Every structure is written in structure tokens, then in C-alpha cells.
Amino acid sequence: MVIPLRDDNPTTRFAFVTLLLVAVNVGVYFFVQPHGGVEEAEFTIERAAIPCELRQDEPLTVEEYQTGDCDADSFDNREFFPHKNVWLAVFTSMFLHGSILHLAGNMLFLWIFGNNVEDHFGPIVYVVFYAVAGVAAMGAHFLADPGSTIPVIGASGAIAGVMGAYLVLWPKARILTVVPLFLFFVVYLPAGVVLGIWFAMQFLTNPNEGVAWVAHVGGFAAGVLMGLGLKAILGPPRTGLTSPELEERS
């Protein structure tokens, strides 16, 4: 897996929406989410999207939660969290993370790729784009396993959409990247290479790692499609080159 550090792709305005998304995600993790034990598990179940709940349009019952079976013949049909809005949870899931590493990785990718996408789309379109990409990612995950009772958390699906749009808009942008090949090398690579490797790696994810890789693929595909559509409407982006030094690097 390659790790991007920054891109040589300056913006014309400050990416306040992207920064706000980063701040909200960090704030939720450190100041809202409990960490550890039953309290964390119940918090996640109450607020995260769960495919089984979306399929049946109602919260999990006690038995479904305990058995992990969405089709269980219920001997205890009490809903675990009866007041949960299962559709709103699709959005709240985008701001929950399972660990500091999960959070840090997502926020790194969001900042590197999101500021340019926001700059080109504008803040309003960018907010709608981000939300739609996140919903598309959850939709892909749902179609892959609609009976799952496992909560889905993280901004990865929406951020994958941002990455897909970046690929469409700036495939040749230079990304300073950590490449682990026996040793760690830091090199500049075209965005198309970095994002292509990231996308390919999703299909090699170990299913036992608990990574919703189908959501990543779905979000990325949605980002590519929306990026192509918005590129046709808004026009091509700037080249991102603002100095002779950067021009020589392209």
C-alpha cells in the first residue's frame, strides 16, 4: 500500500469545507465516541449504518444483535435501539471511526485530495458530492451483503469518492508518496499511479480484517462518474502549476 504525503497541486482558495470535515471527524472521535467496552459497542450500534436494518427498515432486534442473523426467527423481537433512525445512520456513520489509525489515515487522504476537489467544485457542490459519494459507498456495501448485522463506520467511502474525482481531474498531478519496498522510499508519483494502486489494493483486502472494501470501491466509482459529469459541466480544472519550478516537474 502506498501512502501519499502531499501533492504538488496548489489551490486558489482555502479549503474550509475540507478542514471542517476533518475537524468534525476528529472532534467526534475524541470528544463524542466512547472508547472500549460495552459502551463503545452500544454507541456504535445505535448510530452506525447496519445493512440488515436498512433491508428491513427498522432497528435490529435483541435476537438479531445477539445471533448476528438478520433472518433469525425472533424469540425476542424487542428492538435494541427502538428510536434509531436507520437511514440517518448512513450519514452519521461517515463521522465515526474505530481507532486513531483509522481516523488518521482517512483524514490524511481527505486533506491531500479533498482541498483540490473542493477548490474546483466550489463548497456547496463539494458538500453534496461528498455526501452522495458516502451514500453510494454504503449502497455498494449493502448490495454486497444486505443481511449483515455488523455496523459500518468511517469516512473511507466518501473519501474514496473524493479520490475518484481527483483521478478524473488531475491524473498527472505529482504526489509525494511513501512506497514500502523492503525499505521505505519517498518518491513523487503521478496521481493516476497512486490512486490506481490504492484502488487495486482494495480487491486484495483480507476479509478477516474487517475492512468494508466494497464500500471503498463503490465510493471511488461514484466519485469517478460524478467527477466526469461535473468536469463536463464546470469545465476542466486548472493545471495546478503556478511557478516555473512546478512546470519543470510535470
Q: What are 162-215's pLDDT values in tens digits?
A: 999 999 999 999 999 999 877 788 999 999 999 999 999 999 877 667 889 999
179, amino acid identity: V
Q: Which residues contact 18 (CB under 8 A, 6 or more apart)?
A: 110, 111, 114, 115, 118, 126
Residue 14 to residues 19, 109, 122, 171, Cα–Cα distance (Å): 9, 17, 11, 22
Q: Is 5 strand, coil or helix?
A: strand
CA neighbor of 92 nearest in space, from 128, 38, 49: 49
C-alpha grid cell for residue 99? Answer: 481507532
Give how many domains the chain has, as a whole number.
1
CB atoms within 10 A of CB 177: 21
Q: What are 6-28's pLDDT values in tens digits?
A: 999 999 999 999 999 999 999 99
Q: What are 47-62's pLDDT values in tens digits?
A: 999 999 999 999 998 8
Which pLDDT band, with edges at 50, 70 and 90, does 244 fall under? very low
Query: C-alpha angle with apex 93: 16 to 209, nearest 5 degrees?
Result: 110
Decide if pLDDT at 63 tops 80.
yes
2 touches 189 (CB < 8 A): yes
194, amino acid identity: V
Mean pLDDT of all residues belonging to the chain: 91
CB atoms within 10 A of CB 187: 11
Per-residue pLDDT at 75 = 59
Q: What are 127-144's pLDDT values in tens digits?
A: 999 999 999 999 999 999
Range of the domain at 127: 3-249
CATH number where 124 lies: 1.20.1540.10
DSSP state of 57: T
Q: How big is the chain, counted in residues?
A: 250
Query: In Å, how far from its chain's centre is CA 118?
Result: 15
Decide if pLDDT at 149 tops 90.
yes
Per-residue pLDDT at 76 = 58
Which pLDDT band, with edges at 50, 70 and 90, does 247 fall under? very low
More confident residue, 224 or 60: 224
